[in-house]
Amino acid sequence: MTRPATDAVRHHATDPGRRATEQTDPGRRATEQTDPRYRAIDRLPTEEIAGLMNAADATVPAAVASQLPQISAAIDEITTRLRQGGRLLYIGAGTSGRLAVLDASECPPTFGTSPETVQGVIAGGPEALIRSVEGAEDDAEAGRTAIATHAVGPGDAVVGISAAGRAPYVVAAVTAARSRGAYTVGLSCNESTPLSAAADQPIEVITGPEIVTGSTRLKAGTAQKLVLNMISTITMIKCGRTFGNYMIEVSATNNKLADRATRIVADITGTDPQTAKEALEAADNEVKTAILMIEHTLPPQAARHHLAASGHNLTTALTTRT
């Protein structure tokens, strides 16, 4: 009797004899291995595939957690350099490069940094953000050129991102950055990779085989995004660009952010929204200036001077008088 298609698929994925013939080659990178559980997903119902993907994605946070000591060490070194006026450069190819640009581009509106402070560099240039640029990740010379073009030096930090940990563009860039005295991090999803060997601080988030074999935009990409979130956010927190968990450097460039800025000022000062909004308008939408105006009853320019004298640290400015 013929079994229903879904039963046949389950047998295909779990049959011991078939599984024995599909054992992964130990020499293959984890990100390129095939997981027999997903061998016949093309014949499963949609919701069952969604459940498998969801279960696979749920394993990523634990993989990231295993690297928290390495991530924390990298953040502390990066923070030291940014505090001294250095820069953070993310560099990657393909999905890794797009994640690099994504995380870097969020820093100015979220934390009030200049676009130069945190930068994302992608193999193949801006065109690679929207379409694949053939051969870009294999161009080691372009990786070295990117580091030279950005004039990377001892005061900077460079985070190379490659799921496989082998992209020549990324490995060459990190190697070049390290030779120039920059602090370097290698973020990958495999063990003992060329990228790890090239960097001062390896971060190896082992996410294993993907539900679609080799499609590292999935679990590996999710893991990379989680780590980049930590690096940028915690670095900015430690650089004093939040007050508690408030985005005090937020740039009110649209209505949503203007409303957020008003709520932040009102929450921190304990004032009403209208007073907070008026203070922000007088302060040219500078959240920290508006807070000091209310807390210390200062005009805008005096509040700015006091903030500058406090090293632009809001906590210090609030606990000292002019």
Q: Which residue has the tokens 């009030």?
A: 112
For 228, other C-beta atoms within 10 Å of its C-beta total: 23
Regarding whether 99 and 60 lie in a shared domain, the answer is yes
* Number of residues written out for the chain: 322
CA distance 100 to 160: 9
Regarding whether 107 and 253 lie in a shared domain, the answer is no
Mention every residue, 6+ apart, whose C-beta is less than 8 A from residue 293.
Answer: 279, 282, 283, 299, 300, 303
**DSSP label at residue 37:** G
Regarding whether 146 and 54 lie in a shared domain, the answer is yes
Cβ pair 276, 262 in contact under 8 A: yes
Instruction: Give the three-state DSSP class for 250.
Output: coil
Residue ending a domain, choose from 239, 270, 292: 239
Specify whether 77 is catalytic: no
* Whole-number Cα distances in Å, 136 to 92, 141, 292: 10, 10, 49
Residue ending a domain, choose from 188, 220, 239: 239
Regarding whether 261 and 165 lie in a shared domain, the answer is no
Cβ pair 172, 145 in contact under 8 A: no
Strand partners, 119: 89
Cβ pair 29, 206 in contact under 8 A: no
- Give domain status of residue 62, yes or no: yes
Alpha carbons within 13 angstroms on the beta-carbon side of residue 179 total 10
Regarding whether 280 and 207 lie in a shared domain, the answer is no
By residue range, what is the domain housing residue 125?
Answer: 41-239
Regarding whether 218 and 76 lie in a shared domain, the answer is yes
Regarding whether 252 and 204 lie in a shared domain, the answer is no
- pTM score, two decimals? 0.87
Q: Burial, 80: exposed, middle or buried (Cβ in 10 Å; 0-12, 13-18, 19+)?
A: middle
pLDDT tens for each residue of the chain, 322 residues long: 333 444 434 444 444 433 333 344 445 788 999 899 999 999 999 999 999 999 999 999 999 999 999 999 999 999 999 999 999 999 999 999 999 999 999 999 999 999 999 999 999 999 999 999 989 999 999 999 999 999 999 999 999 999 999 999 999 999 999 999 999 999 999 999 999 999 999 999 999 999 999 999 999 999 999 999 999 999 999 999 999 999 999 888 889 999 999 999 999 999 999 999 999 999 999 999 999 999 999 999 999 999 999 988 999 999 998 7
Regarding whether 310 and 213 lie in a shared domain, the answer is no
Q: How many structural domains compose the chain? A: 2
CATH, residue 273 = 1.10.8.1080
Specify whether 22 is catalytic: no
Regarding whether 169 and 251 lie in a shared domain, the answer is no
- Give domain status of residue 214, yes or no: yes
Q: Which residue has the tokens 């000022």?
A: 265
Q: Which of 137, 204, 249, 286 is catalytic?
A: 137
Q: Which of 32, 48, 106, 278 is catalytic?
A: 106
Regarding whether 49 and 169 lie in a shared domain, the answer is yes
Instruction: Give the three-state DSSP class for 134.
Output: coil
- Give domain status of residue 96, yes or no: yes
